[in-house]
Each structure stands twice: as structure tokens, then as C-alpha cells.
Structure 1
Amino acid sequence: MQDQTTRAHDILAIFLVSIAHASSHFYHLVIPSLFPWILPHFNLNYLQGGTLVSTFFVTSALGQSATGFLVDKIGPRLSMYLGLICLASSAFVLGLADNVPMLFAASILAGLGNSVFHPADYSLMNYNISQRYLGHAFAWHNITGNIGWAICPFFMVLMAENVGWREAAFAASSVALIVLGFQLFFRDVFSIDQSSKKFVSEEKDSGGAFSFLAVPSVWMCFFFFFFTSGAFGVLQSFSQSIFRNAYGLNLAGASAALMAYLIGAGAGALVGGFIAGQSRFSSNRVVAVCIAFSALMAVVLASEILVGYWAVVLMFLMGAGTGVAAPSRDIMIRSATVAKLGQRSFGRVYGFTYCGMDVGQSLSPLVFGPLLDKGMFSLVLFGVAALQTAAIFTALQVSDGEKKADVPSGA
């Protein structure tokens, strides 16, 4: 009976964290989805519109490390509530906007709200979900983020076409409020946080708030995200151009290649959730093997041994490799945190390491764009493989430490 209660608790906790993460990804695309209406209304060009998007991601990147400290200070549950309020406020301000500064205010509010979710979500999962379901929790966390991306453009465009872009923005604000309502109604599910007596008594002598920066494994996790997200940033930004030129695909085929990668990543994450829950597998070695497979697929793509629509198949396989690695990747970060810093440092460690994702994804297009301008499409794919190969070595350098330290279920 206790086992069934724990299972029900963990499933509900996974659902609550997942819908919160999906909502944060939803707000990534609220403003860009309304560009066909916003840009002409405010007489903006696409470069100026892109600045709104950059403002969002810069705010999120800078805020993520800071909110990691906030999460460890006031707790992940309250931090998540504040993040959802910021997201709802951003869309509301967007709907009221009658000048460009208000658009930037909306973008900044959305970035601040988004910055909370990685440190808060991962802290909530690590504190409140039992060890055997933790891999599945990490898997669904990844998958629902992609679902949030997929839903937003459809929702926003449908609303804007039928009732207007301002009304669409107001409707978007309701998404975070609905999710907040769920979180408040089921708030007792997340009853364990960094202030719980168990974690206070087990706290390691970490030497200060910034001591995690002296832990090599934390930096290895940061650079792992830097390299893997850099590789994805290339594919996300330039895959259509690469496959149209290197493989001769039409626009639909080139777009299908990126979609295949995302589908493969989602399917792989489901499998990875089961693998991450197996104690006999070392998380960093699982990550290394899966990323090595993805790097191999990138090399095959770059070599153009297989041509035409084989690109779609290879992209699916590359995405599957990164997807299977994802839950073990998050277990890897947890292990490094518990082993060196104790369980009250989840917020700041996840916040800092996930900054590597923002940095890598923002810089890689700047590095590889000039190569594309010179027509070096295959070389860019070799670059993707090189970034993924670098990530393998960072994963292998992460200490397993207390890899399977138990986490109370909160049930």
C-alpha cells in the first residue's frame, strides 16, 4: 500500500513539474509567434524584432545563475510560483503594449520568469521524487519542454487570426495562471525542500555560497552543456540551409530533417528514463556512449556517404542518441552535487550548469555562420561532431560520487 502511495505521489509530482516546464517553453515563443502582427503595428523590422528575442535569452541566461541562489534560499516551490507570475505578467504587458519599450519590458519579464525553471524544477524533482522514478521524471521534463514549444505557435496564431494579437497575448497570460492554479492546489506534493531537517543535518561543509565554483565536476557539467547545446544550436539555426545545399533536399525535406532530430530526441528520452533508473549503469558513461553515437551520426552526415533523404534518418538517430543521454545527464549533475556539496545546493548548481546551454546555443551560430557564408556546409557538420566529441570527455570527467544516493519521496 505504501508503495502504491509513493508511486501515485511521484506520478503527480512529475506531472506538476512537467506542466510548469512546458509553460516556460511556451513563453519562449509568445512574442516571436506574434511578429506578423507586432512588427507592422510598431513599424519594426526583423532585426529589431530579433532584438526582442535576444533580450529574452540574455535576461534568462544572466538570471539563471542568480535564481539558483534564490531557489536555495527561499525554496524551489515559491521560486516556481514567482516564475509563473512573471510569465503571466509578461504576456499581460505585451497585450497592453502601446510603445516599443513596453515590448522590451514584456521580453525582460518573460526572461526573468524563464530563468527560474531549471533550478526550481530540478530541485523539486530531486527533493520530492523517489530515486526509482527520478530518471522518468527527468525524461518527461525534457519531453514536455518540447511540447510547450510545439503548442505555442499554433495557439498564438490561431488566437491572433480570430480575435487579434492583443487578445492572443492576454490569452497567453492565462496559461501560466492555470498552471499556477494547479501548483497551488497540489502544493503539498512538494513538501520537501532545502530547509527540511534531513538536508540540514546532512549538509556538507561546503565553505560558502560560491564554493560550488571550486568543484571541477560542476565546471565539467557546465562545459558539457556548452558543447552539446552548441552542436544543437548549429542544427537548429542552419539545418535547412545545410541540407538544401549539401544534400539537395527541398525546403520540406530539410525541415523534416530537423523535425526528425526532435522526434528522435523525444523518443530517446523515454528510453533514457528507464536506463537512468538502472543502478548498474554509470550515468556519465551512459551519457558518453550516447553522445559518441550522436557524434558518429554527425560524421556520417558530414562525409555524405549516404545522400538524399538519408539525412532525415541520420538526424533521427543523432537526436535519439542525445535523447537517451538526457535523463542520465541530469542524474550525472545530481550525483556531482550530492557528492561534493550536499543536497541543499541543487538550485545554484543546476542554475549554473544550465547556463552553459544558453551560452553554447547563443555562440555557436556566430562561430559557424561565417563557414556557411563560404559554402562549407559539410565542414559545419564536422564541427557538430567535434562539439559532441568534446562533450564526451567532459562527461567522463564528472565524478560519479554518490551516484545513487537516495532521495525521499515526500509521500
Structure 2
Amino acid sequence: MPIRIGLLPQVATAHWVSHLHIMALAALFPVLPQLFGVGYVELGLALSIFNILSAVAQAPMGFAVDHYGARRVLLAGMSLGSCSLLLIALLPTYTWLLIGMALAGLANAVYHPANYALLAQGIAPAHMGKAFSVHTFAGFLGGAVAPLLLLGVASASNPRMAFAVAALAGFVALALLLVPGSGITQVRPATTVQADSGSEAVRQRSLWSPMIASLTVLFVLLNLSTSAIEKFSVASLMQGQGISLSWANAGLTAFLFASAFGVLAGGALADRTKRHGLVAAMAFGLAAALTVLVAWSGLSDLALVVVLGVIGFLTGLIAPSRDMLVRAAAPKGAEGKTFGIVSTGFNVGGALGPLGFGWLLDHGQANGIFWASAVFMGLTVLMTLLQEAAIRRARHAVAAQQAAPR
């Protein structure tokens, strides 16, 4: 009997791998300065190169998804990403680290436009919210596993073997996507209608609407808010507060796993409210306050793990609503392009953050990592509330227009 694998498990697996690869370098930060003979700024530069290449390639990959098909582009990206980490494992010098992270950044640009296009085209609209929740949960889970898996391998063997294990995970997932007759092979791209130059111009303008632009900026702030904790908290806690590696890593693991389960809770919450902006603002506001607590007061080891877990849960709550907003803003048949454009916000934040966060660590301002995260969370809350107010004004204007006598 032939093996059959559903579309959502396959796409979720691809997202799991993408976040494992995104976190590979950051998860190994505490042991990499000795391996490569560099400081945190240099390691931050490698992360910035990853994100810059991903940001530059994200929108073109979205167009490629809509033109060549999401499955082909996803397979190519996963292959390139796995090979790039294997390259770092085989050639462990700083120069090859930069080359490998550049290639991994190109590969990372594939996942969001390809995955979301596959879901938009292959999942029934009635189940789209749950599908987005499962997809995002899988990605967060991949990031949560990274510190445990990769640092564990590095401790038992060496960092080179940890990069090799991350590459192997990609190759295994690639094999699942190649199963004949599986869900991903049955997705048919949305049909596009030949349009005249006028309607094509309207469609292109819709891709650069104020809503899509504001969502892109929101993605920048979201990345800066969470990446400080995801990628630099272990080094920050060890250097700034004297926390041991095991407890600091436990705190990061709690943050990442709680973020994943926060996504599932956010999916259920998103189905029960229309005030997505207000819910997101409340969650991020509380997360910001708790992040200040981590930066300001010397919590015990166990309390630190608990607080970081709560922060992770709160930051995960908004992810499903975020994805539904992008889908709602996407023109029909242009889901890949839209998610490609908006997702560049993550990469812009990912390119800017590591250099600044690495500078803080190298200059003895380790607690500044958490202060910076709290500031960006506050800015995210402010922007979310402004968007919520704008949406309410638009709804009132439409209601008033419909109620006006004709």
C-alpha cells in the first residue's frame, strides 16, 4: 500500500525544519566563539548576513512561488538550506560560516511564501485558521527544540556535529516532501486570469497597499522584540547575571516551548474575538512588563525559567491573528507574493538586531538585551493600538455609509 501524507503535516514539517535552521547558529552561540575564534559582534554579523539575504530574496521568491509552483520552490529551498549547514560542519572557519549563512538566508526566503501559498490553495477556508495555527506551532516547536538538540549534540561531541545534525534533519524532511501521491503533490496553484494592462496595474498597486506596508513594519518590530530573547538571552543571562549555562538554556527552552503552545491558544482565541489588535496589544504589553522584570531584578533560577516561559506564551498568542491578517490583505492568486513581501519585515529586523545585540554583549551591557526587547515590545503595542483604532474608524465609516438614506 503506498504511503499517503497529508498536506498540513508536510508543510508543518517544512516549517519545523526552517525554524530549526534559523536557530542553529543562535542556539550554539555560547560555544562558537572558541570554535571560530571570533566575538559576538562577528557572530551577529553572520546572523545579519543570513537575514539580509533572506530579506532581499523574500519577495522574489514569492513571485517565483506564484510563477513556478510552491512545491518546486520549497523543495529547492530546503535542499539549499540543508546543504549550507552541512558546509559549515565540513569547513568550520569563519569565512565559510559567512558563506554558509548567506546560502542559508537564501534558502530561508522560500519557506513563508511557499508554505502559506500551499496552505491557502490546499486547505478549505473553514479550516484555515486552525491550519495556520498548526503551521506556526510547528515552526515555533522547531525553534524550541534547537537549543536542547544542538547544544546537547555539541556538548556530547562538538559544534561541527551539531551543524551536521541540523542539516540531517532537513534532508529527512525533504524525503517526506518527495513521497509520491502525498498531499503536497495534489495542490494545484490558483488559476490566474489574463488581465489587461489597466487591471494588472490595479493588482500590482494592491500588493503595495498601506495595509501590507503596515503589516511589514509590524513584522520588523515583532522580530526585534522576540529575537533578542531567542538568540541572545543565554549569553546575556550568563554574562550579565551570572546564570549557569544549564539554567540559562532552560530559560530559553521554556520561552520557546511556551511560545509554541501560545500559538495554539492564540488560534483558539482568534476564533472567538474580532478585536485581534486589542488582544495582541494586551498580551505584548504584559510581556514587556515581565521582560523589564527579568532585566531589572535578580530572579532565582527557577523563577527566571517560569517568567521567561510566561513571556514566551504571551508573545506566541498573536501569531495566528497575524497570519490571518496577511491572508486577508492578499489579492486572490497572489498569496505567495504577499507573504513574501510582508515576511521581509522579519528579515529586516533579523538583520538589524544581531549587530546591536552583539555590540551590547561585547561592551559589557548584557542586561541591555532584555531592555531592548522590552522597548521593541512597547513599540509593537503602540503600533497595534494605532492599527486597531484605524480599523474601527474604517468600520464606522462603512456602517455610516450603509445607513445613510439613498
Tell whether the structures are fold-level matches, with TM greater than 0.5: yes
User: Residue type matched to 2:286 in 1?
Assistant: L
Per the alignment, residue 187 of structure 2 pairs with: 192
Q: Shift of residue 238 of structure 1?
A: 5.9
User: Residue type matched to 2:103 in 1?
Assistant: L
Per the alignment, residue 177 of structure 2 pairs with: 183
Per the alignment, residue 149 of structure 1 pairs with: 143
Per the alignment, residue 404 of structure 1 pairs with: none
1:112 corresponds, among 91, 106, 126, to 106
Q: Distance in 2 between matches of 1:89 and 1:26?
A: 14
1:83 corresponds, among 77, 81, 84, to 77
User: Residue type matched to 2:343 in 1?
Assistant: Y
Distance change in 2, residues 1:281/1:98 (3 Å): closer
Per the alignment, residue 355 of structure 1 pairs with: 344
Q: Distance in 2 between matches of 1:205 and 1:97?
A: 51
Per the alignment, residue 122 of structure 2 pairs with: 128
Per the alignment, residue 314 of structure 2 pairs with: 321
2:282 corresponds, among 279, 288, 292, to 292
Q: Shift of residue 330 of structure 1?
A: 0.5
2:382 corresponds, among 386, 390, 395, to 390
Q: Distance in 2 between matches of 1:44 and 1:242?
A: 17
Q: Shift of residue 231 of structure 1?
A: 1.8
Q: Deviations over 1:215-263 (max 9, x none)?
A: 11101211221222222234345656887999x7955766655444333
User: Does residue 1:263 correspond to 2:257, yes or no?
Assistant: yes
Matched residue of 1:59: which SS?
helix
**Percent identity between the aligned chains?**
25
Q: Distance in 2 between matches of 1:364 and 1:398?
A: 30
Distance change in 2, residues 1:214/1:265 (3 Å): same
Q: Deviations over 1:41-85 (max 9, x none)?
A: 765555544433332222222221221111121111111011111
Per the alignment, residue 332 of structure 1 pairs with: 325
Contact 1:60 1:114 in 2 (8 A): yes
User: Does residue 1:24 correspond to 2:18, yes or no?
Assistant: yes
Distance change in 2, residues 1:395/1:182 (3 Å): farther
Q: Deviations over 1:119-151 (max 9, x none)?
A: 111111111112233222222222222332344
Between 387-396 and 148-157, the greater mean CA deviation after superposition: 148-157
Distance change in 2, residues 1:59/1:163 (3 Å): same
Matched residue of 2:11: which SS?
helix
Contact 2:145 2:253 in 1 (8 A): no
Contact 2:114 2:336 in 1 (8 A): yes
CA RMSD of aligned residues (A): 4.2
Q: Shift of residue 116 of structure 1?
A: 0.4
Q: Distance in 2 between matches of 1:46 and 1:378?
A: 16
Q: Distance in 2 between matches of 1:374 and 1:179?
A: 37
Q: Distance in 1 between matches of 2:238 and 2:34?
A: 30
Q: Shift of residue 168 of structure 1?
A: 5.7
Q: Distance in 1 between matches of 2:284 and 2:73?
A: 35
Q: Which runs of 5+ in 1 are unaligned?
A: 1-8, 402-411
Q: Which runs of 5+ in 2 are unaligned?
A: 396-406
Give me the TM-score of the superposition, normalised by structure 2. 0.76
Per the alignment, residue 405 of structure 1 pairs with: none
Q: Shift of residue 161 of structure 1?
A: 6.6
Q: Deviations over 1:299-328 (max 9, x none)?
A: 366479998466655544443333222112
User: Residue type matched to 1:363 in 2?
Assistant: L
User: Residue type matched to 1:298 in 2?
Assistant: A
Q: Distance in 2 between matches of 1:395 and 1:119?
A: 24
1:281 corresponds, among 273, 280, 298, to 273
Q: Distance in 1 between matches of 2:141 and 2:237?
A: 25
Q: Distance in 1 between matches of 2:236 and 2:341?
A: 32
**Superposition pairs for residues 163-312 of structure 1, below 5 Å?**
169-186=163-180, 188-190=182-184, 191-194=186-189, 196-197=190-191, 200=193, 205-207=199-201, 210-236=204-230, 239=233, 250-251=243-244, 257-276=251-270, 278=271, 281-282=273-274, 285-299=275-289, 302=292, 308=299
Matched residue of 1:281: which SS?
coil
Per the alignment, residue 346 of structure 1 pairs with: 335
Q: Distance in 1 between matches of 2:91 and 2:356?
A: 35
Contact 1:22 1:148 in 2 (8 A): yes
**Superposition pairs for residues 27-66 of structure 1, below 5 Å?**
27-30=21-24, 47-66=41-60
Matched residue of 2:115: which SS?
helix
Q: Distance in 1 between matches of 2:30 and 2:247?
A: 25
